[in-house]
Homo-oligomer: A and B are copies of this chain.
Amino acid sequence: MGQDNRSAASSQQVAQVDNSQDEKSLLLHNSPFMKACRREKTERTPIWLMRQAGRYMKEFREIRSRVTLLELCKTPELACEVTVHAQEKLGVDAAIIFSDILVPLDALGVGLDYVKGEGPVIERPLRQESELDSLPELDVRESLSYVMQAISLTRKALKPDIPLLGFAAAPFTLASYLIEGGSSRNYENTKTMMYCRPELWQRLMSKIVSISIDYLNAQIEAGAQAVQVFDSWMGCLSVPDYQKFSHPYSAQLIAGIKKDVPVIHFGTGNVHLLPLMKTAGASVLGLDWRVDLAKKWDELGDNIAVQGNLDPCVLFADQRYIRSTTENLLASVASKPGYIFNLGHGVLPPTDVDNVRFLVDLVHDYKG
């Protein structure tokens, strides 16, 4: 299976890294996060948080009061600043480049905007063959160069032992935004295309896969040590629909990513899809709080790492509650190599930053 090849290769890689790479690469290679991705033992459980640079931080809000979300994404110096600031303020074991999964849609010229209270809006949603035909060929190194510049700056600014993650949406998730014209509750137009226009669906997904492979590899070349694929909305699909309309494209995307780079495959509400999801080939599965993590990891087998899965709302509780819930989770999974602590989804805007720091310390100080 994909993740076995991926991991086997990266284990053989150690000697090569020792000989040929410089000290900085070794520091990164031996960081707790990278070790956990390879299912090697770590001295402490690594932790990072989705949306760790976000509106819950006053320094972030201060910057966002001056620029729009897209302007922030498109200004490498600012994207670098918020990325590095969050990592340092929280003391987490990895940084993720500040950006948005939808910037490729901006590059495709379909009119991406973020409307207050509504989230992302696509001015010209794609529903017809002709709309697909009229999308431009994308050279992501050109049209999304600001992401690669941000990664390059951030790699230089981060401490040398802190891995930097790149990321992209999984094909189904990106397609659903493009087709629905924004967030969705029922994915009506997306599923209609899947069921009624399977050949159009296939063409669209293949185009997205090809763009996304280029995009993730460009991020890796620019300085990312690992990547996360946000298959965030896969959970809205039945098992046969996921198998037919989504899984093949996620698998193609993951297979196209440079070898020896860990891939975290993240989804929510997807308990029913886990065995299939594993066969898409990632090194790490990122899961949400609906999964009994210890039990499902057992069922999935030892040849895959896992990341997750505290409910982000637990950070609204008092520290006594945060401690007991976190320690229960750690007790169930942290003794096995290949576990990365994270929330089950992004940090929510009303979260108290002190509770996030408290969580990071809890995970670091935990003795199983």
| Chain A interface residues (CB < 8 Å from chain B) | 186-188, 191-192, 195-196, 235-241, 269, 271-272, 289-292, 311-314, 316-318, 321, 328, 348, 350
Contacts and interface: CB of A to CB of B under 8 A. Distances in A.
Contacts of A237: 290
A10 to B, nearest CB: 32
Nearest to A292: B239
Contacts of A239: 292
A321 B195 contact: yes
Contacts of A238: 289-290, 311
Given A191-B313, A237-B290, 15 more contacts: A187-B313, A192-B316, A195-B314, A195-B318, A195-B321, A235-B269, A235-B290, A236-B290, A238-B289, A239-B292, A271-B271, A271-B272, A271-B290, A272-B290, A272-B292
A316 B196 contact: yes
A321 B196 contact: yes
Nearest to A291: B272
14 contacts: A188-B316, A191-B314, A191-B316, A192-B313, A192-B316, A195-B317, A195-B318, A196-B321, A238-B290, A238-B311, A240-B328, A241-B311, A271-B272, A271-B290
A186 B313 contact: yes
Contact of A191 (B235, B269, B311): B311
Nearest to A241: B311
The 4 closest A-B pairs by CB, nearest first: A195-B317, A191-B313, A192-B316, A238-B289
Nearest to A349: B188
Nearest to A328: B240
B317 A196 contact: yes
